[in-house]
Amino acid sequence: MRTLITLSVSAALLLCSLSASAETPQQIRQLYTTEAATQQAGFTASAKRGDAFFRQRFAINDKMPSCSSCHTDSPLIPGKHAVTGKDIKPLAPQAHAERLTDPAKVEKWFGRNCKEVVGRLCTPAEKADFVAFLSEVR
């Protein structure tokens, strides 16, 4: 019983710290890597695969065939929304420090943009690769 209480208290504390504090790109990469490893033993994230994914033409959406349609060929420079023309800040934390610091926000945008551009939800492995690419790109 005592162990159970200790366990649930520490779980609650962990949850609090996860939601209250800003994460680092490294932690977000780890979240997706851990999730991917449950589906694919020994998975490690690859910035190179993330780079290829960023440039891949999915051609599901004719206005936004690939991520780079709005985010340009480099995550280090500002982009422009392909439909509305609104400026989009660079995706890479190197160029815009707020990027990859809020897991819920990252997950929300994977949710929206994967559906819209890739035509389906992205897998945890794809997300881990993508985050690895964005954090390592210089």
Partner 1 sequence: MKNRYLSLLTATLLSLALPALADRTPIPVDTPASFKAECASCHMAFPPSLLSADDWKKTMNQLDKHFGTDAAVDSKAAREIGSFLERNAGSGSRVAGAGNPPRITKTARFERKHHEIPNKYWRDPRIKSAANCEACHRDASKGSFSERDILIPELRD
Which residues contribute to the site for partner 1 (CB under 8 A)? Answer: 63, 80-81, 83-87, 105, 112, 115-116
CB of 86 or CB of 138, closer to partner 1: 86
CB of 7 or CB of 121, closer to partner 1: 121
Measure the CA–CA gap between 65 and 1, rounded to whole angstroms.
Answer: 55
Least Å distance, CB 106 to partner 1, is 13
User: Among all chains, which residue has been given the structure tokens 């609090």?
Assistant: 16
Least Å distance, CB 47 to partner 1, is 25
DSSP string of 55-108?
H----SSSS-SSTHHHH-S-TTS-EE-TTT--EE--SSTTT-TTTT--HHHHHH
Give burial (CB, 10 Å; 0-12/13-18/19+) of 32.
buried
CB of 42 or CB of 85, closer to partner 1: 85
Least Å distance, CB 112 to partner 1, is 7
Which residue type occupies 80?
Answer: K
Least Å distance, CB 87 to partner 1, is 8
CB of 33 or CB of 90, closer to partner 1: 90
